[in-house]
Each structure stands twice: as C-alpha cells, then as structure tokens.
Chain A
Amino acid sequence: MLTPVVLSGAVSSFDLLAWSSPGWGATLVAGLWNTCLIAFGAYALGLLIGVAGAFGKLYGGPVTRDFLGVYTTLVRAVPELVLLLIMNFAVRDLINQAMLAMGYGRVELSGVAIGIIILGVVQGAYSTEVLRGAILSVPAGQIEAARAMGMSPTLLARRITLPLMAAAAVPGLANLWLTVTKDTALLSVLGFIELTKATSLAAQTTKAFFTFYLAAGVLYLALSLVSVVIFGRIERWARKGQRTLEGGAH
C-alpha cells in the first residue's frame, strides 16, 4: 500500500489523490478508517468510565470520591500528548506483566487497541465532568420521588436519572466527540498509522505538502461537520418531551 512514488513534474495534485499508485487515496482512506475506529472506541470507553466516574463522584464513598477527584484533576492538568506517551508505555508494561504473572506469554497489542485504551482513559476524565454536571441538572425531586417509590439505585439510574440527564449532557458530549476525533491526530506522534500519520507519509514522500495536508484537513472537517449534524439530531431526540420556552412540547 505504501508504494513510494517516483517524483516527476507531471504528477498533478489530482493524480496524487487517486485511489491507487501513483495516488495515495487508498492510504488516506485507510488512515481515516483507523482514525474513526480509534475515535469511536475511545469515545465509547470514555463514556463508560464517565458514567461510572460521575455516579462515583456524586454518590460514592469518601475514598472513591477522592480517587476520582485526583484522576480528573491529573488528566485535565497534563497535556494529552504527554499522558498518551506515558500511558503508551505504562499500558503495554502493565498488560505484559499481568500476562506473565498469569503464566501466559507476552502479547503485542495492536495500535488501534492501545490507542483506544489510552485515549479512552483521557476521555473518561472529561466525560466524568460533563456527565456529573448533567446528573446535577436532574431535579432533585424526581430522584427523591423515585427513592420514595422504593426504586433500587440501578433502576433509578436507568429509568429516571439517565433519561432525564441525556438532554443536558448531549452538547458537552458532542464537544467531547469533536475533541476525540482531533486528539487521534496526537497518536501519529506515537507512530500509530491514522489519518495524520498516513498523510505525513504521503506528503514527505511526494513533497506535495499542500495537496496532502489540505486533503486530510478536508477529511477531518467533513468528519466533524457530519458529526455536528448527527449530534443535532440526537439532541433533538433527547429533548423530546421537554417543554420549550413557549410552553408547548416539541
């Protein structure tokens, strides 16, 4: 796939972006696919951590709360690039030590899997804060009423808190999704082949820097514009049944 192009003045920008040699279209699209895969996985993992973290921060014991406080503060105070670098080493070390301790051999996780884990842990801290804010926006009376009806905490979360907080959480979560798609670019620094890395390879080989970086920019932009539309739909769905300022329901 990474066939170097013999440079000649005759190769135009459009030829370079063609699907196969001398074009790099397939490489870029493969990079975009990896970017989407990592972004989606990390976002989902971040949401899982975020839900657990938000409930832990609000309803957990004192030790849980302090640990989560340290986690969210640390992650949000250190640059993502530095965190990703530290965790890139730490996660590989930890997994291998765990595997050796359990009597298995060393494993080499794929770049996508590592990327999802380390970006997901970073995202988790931000998700925790967004979701915590959203849970706090649920009127206390609703939760008290559910408790008074004898609902168990899980049922309460599933039936009352999560549906009611969704509307307040969507804008923040949409922002986080846009952040994570752009943060995947940082993984290129660690050598993962995603869109930015694929683009850099193409650009450095052909010296057509403007062509490739602008093409990648268009792909990232398209991804974010499509996401904005989708999140707009999700928000409208989440606000279903909420009263508007005019008084009527949507």
Chain B
Amino acid sequence: MLEFFRPLHRQVLAVIAVLTIWACAHYLNWDWLTQYRGEIISGIWITIWMTIASMVLGMVLATMLGLAQAAGPRWLALPARTYCTIIRGTPLLLQLYLLYYGLGWYFSGQPEIRQSIFWPILKAAPPYGLLALTLSVAGYEGEVMRGAFKGVPHGQLEAARAMGVPRFTAFRRIWLPQALHRALPTIGGETVLQMKSTPLLAMITIMDLYGVLNRVRRDTLLTYEPLLLLALIYMILAGLLVLFFRWLENRLPQRTA
C-alpha cells in the first residue's frame, strides 16, 4: 500500500481525488439521503438478489445448453446453438420488453389466467424480470460452458469409463466439476456484467437500486447527486464481486502439474 503511493504523482493524484470527494460531499445537495435511506437499501437488496438468483438459475440452464452443444445429438445441439445465437444477438432490453409487455399483455387477455391463483404472481413485474435475466445469462453462459465441457481432457472421461463409473456419476463427479473449474474466471467476469445489466429491470417498473435513485431524481429534480451515488454503489458492488470470485478461485485446488 505504501509502495503504491511512493511516486510523487500518485500523492498529488490522491490529494486531488480527496479534494474532489470533499467538494462533492460539501457543495452538492445530499439532504435527501436520510429520507430515502430505507428505499435505497431495499433497492440494493433487489439488485443483489436479482443478480444472484438469475446467475444461479441461468447457470443450471447454461450447463444443459453447454452439454447439449458439446456432447448432445444433433437434434439437441442445433436448437441449443440457435438459442444461444438469438439471445446473444439481441439486446437484453428488447428481450425484457418482449417478455413483460408481450407475455403480460397476452396473459391479461386470457380470462382463465386472470382468474387463476397464479395471477397475482403473473401480474407483478419481478417474475418477468427474473425470467428475462435468467434466459439471457443462460444464452451467454451456454457458450462458455460448451467451451469448458470441451476443454476437459478426454482421458479423464475415458478413465472413468474404464473404471466402470456410471455415466451420470462420471458427469457429476468428473466432467462437470472440471468444466466449472475451468469456466470459473469467466463466470466471475460474467457475474459482474450481469450485475451491471440489472438497472434495465427499472424499465419494467421494478424498484431496484437504479429504479429507486431514478425516483429520487424525479422527486428532488437533482441531476447529478443521485447518479453519482448510483455509480459509487455499483462500483462497490462490482468490487465486492471481484473480491469474492478471487477468494473462491484461491480456495479451489490449483493444478500443480
């Protein structure tokens, strides 16, 4: 740490940075913080949960998509590849609109659905948001997992077969763990990207962190303050994610030979 600040220019830059932060804190208007504290914290939770839930569900789908492409028969591999191409070729915002407005409009026009017990869930925005984020991450990670599955040395699977390990056990104990291990650095980066795409949820009325601070902006008519706080919180979240994945990677056994 001390070594980092040894060069003179870094000390000057650090002073400038501290002065900028002080000026932001002093001259800009932060009175709204106390009033909106509760909503901001709940917004942060929604952002975090949406990221985690869509990542976990998406990875389950992505494993199947990757496996279908890496080892599946043609009639499975082709649809999986097409799916990944479509998801990766269109903007997430468009997918979100299609699901929320398209499906929502369709469901609201069906009396059977309107009267069913699922309507309160189907009426709300979060399920559509989670669905869109999950489908999107599955498309991107499907490609990653395809590469990861193919990257596991074939000898590992042949050895398992020679030992008489059942196919599913071989997949569960040998192929999948090694593929995930290989893909982990990529998955870490993609999780940060996923977190950075959650603000789109606010476009379908979900009050995530971005949605809350956007409301603050409308209510208080402040231009920069809420946006600066928003950027700061996202930066902290991204930093925490990077640290978490670094910790996770260090905990896993490293290849020694």
Q: Do A and B bind each other?
A: yes
Do B210 and A82 touch (CB < 8 A)? yes
CA distance A200 to B238 in the complex (A): 31
Do A185 and B199 touch (CB < 8 A)? no
Question: Known contacts being A66-B13, A74-B235, is A224 close to B93, with CB within 8 Å?
Answer: no
Contact with B along A47-79 (1 / 0, CB 8 A): 000000000000000110010000000100111
Contact with B along A206-246 (1 / 0, CB 8 A): 01011001101100110011000000000000000000000
Which among B9, B105, B235 is the interface contact of A62 at CB below 8 angstroms?
B9
Contact with A along B241-255 (1 / 0, CB 8 A): 000000000000000
Do B235 and A77 touch (CB < 8 A)? yes
Interface centre among B94, B228, B238 (most CB of A within 10 A): B94
Q: What B residues does A178 contact at CB under 8 A?
A: 88-89
B29 contacts partner chain A, Cβ-Cβ < 8 Å = no
Q: What A residues does B224 contact at CB under 8 A?
A: 86, 89-90
Q: What B residues does A203 contact at CB under 8 A?
A: 97, 101
Do B7 and A186 touch (CB < 8 A)? no
The minimal Cβ–Cβ distance linking A224 to chain B, given in whole angstroms, is 4
Q: What B residues does A185 contact at CB under 8 A?
A: 91-94
Mark out the residues of chain B between 89 and 105 whose CB falls within 8 Å of any chain A CB in the assembled complex. 89-95, 97-98, 101-102, 105
Do A83 and B94 touch (CB < 8 A)? no
Do A217 and B227 touch (CB < 8 A)? no
Do B200 and A81 touch (CB < 8 A)? yes
Which among A184, A199, A210 is the interface contact of B106 at CB below 8 angstroms?
A210
Task: Tell me the interface secondary structure of chain A in the complex.
Answer: helix
Interface centre among B88, B105, B192, B196 (most CB of A within 10 A): B196
A189 contacts partner chain B, Cβ-Cβ < 8 Å = yes
Do A213 and B98 touch (CB < 8 A)? yes
Do A200 and B97 touch (CB < 8 A)? yes
A107 contacts partner chain B, Cβ-Cβ < 8 Å = no
B125 contacts partner chain A, Cβ-Cβ < 8 Å = no
Mark out the residues of chain B between 143 and 178 whose CB falls within 8 Å of any chain A CB in the assembled complex. none
Do B7 and A62 touch (CB < 8 A)? yes
Question: Known contacts being A182-B91, A220-B94, is A189 close to B197, with CB within 8 Å?
Answer: no
Question: Known contacts being A89-B224, A217-B98, is A225 close to B9, with CB within 8 Å?
Answer: no
CA distance A196 to B203 in the complex (A): 13
Do A79 and B93 touch (CB < 8 A)? no
Mark out the residues of chain B between 162 and 209 whose CB falls within 8 Å of any chain A CB in the assembled complex. 192, 195-200, 203
CB nearest to A214 among chain B residues: B98
Q: What A residues does B234 contact at CB under 8 A?
A: 77-79, 82
Count of chain A residues with a beta carbon within 8 Å of a chain B beta carbon: 39
Q: What A residues does B196 contact at CB under 8 A?
A: 78-80
Do B10 and A66 touch (CB < 8 A)? yes
Q: What A residues does B18 contact at CB under 8 A?
A: none
Interface centre among A62, A77, A83, A89 (most CB of B within 10 A): A77
Do B10 and A79 touch (CB < 8 A)? no
CA distance A33 to B98 in the complex (A): 21
The minimal Cβ–Cβ distance linking A205 to chain B, given in whole angstroms, is 12
Q: What B residues does A62 contact at CB under 8 A?
A: 7, 9-10
Do B203 and A83 touch (CB < 8 A)? no
CB nearest to A183 among chain B residues: B91
CB nearest to B241 among chain A residues: A77
Mark out the residues of chain A between 141 and 191 whose CB falls within 8 Å of any chain B CB in the assembled complex. 178, 182-186, 188-189
Question: Known contacts being A62-B7, A207-B105, A220-B89, is A79 close to B210, with CB within 8 Å?
Answer: yes
Contact with A along B229-240 (1 / 0, CB 8 A): 011001100110
Between A and B, 14 residue pairs with Cβ closer than 8 Å are A62-B7, A63-B9, A77-B234, A79-B197, A83-B231, A196-B94, A196-B97, A199-B97, A213-B97, A213-B98, A217-B98, A220-B90, A220-B94, A221-B85
Residue ranges of A at the interface with B (Cβ–Cβ < 8 Å): 62-63, 66, 74, 77-83, 85-86, 89-90, 178, 182-186, 188-189, 196, 199-200, 203-204, 207, 209-210, 213-214, 216-217, 220-221, 224-225
**Known pairs A77-B239, A90-B224 / 19 extra A-B pairs, C-beta < 8 Å:** A63-B9, A66-B10, A74-B235, A78-B196, A78-B235, A78-B238, A83-B231, A86-B227, A178-B88, A188-B93, A199-B94, A204-B101, A209-B102, A210-B106, A216-B94, A217-B90, A220-B90, A221-B89, A221-B90
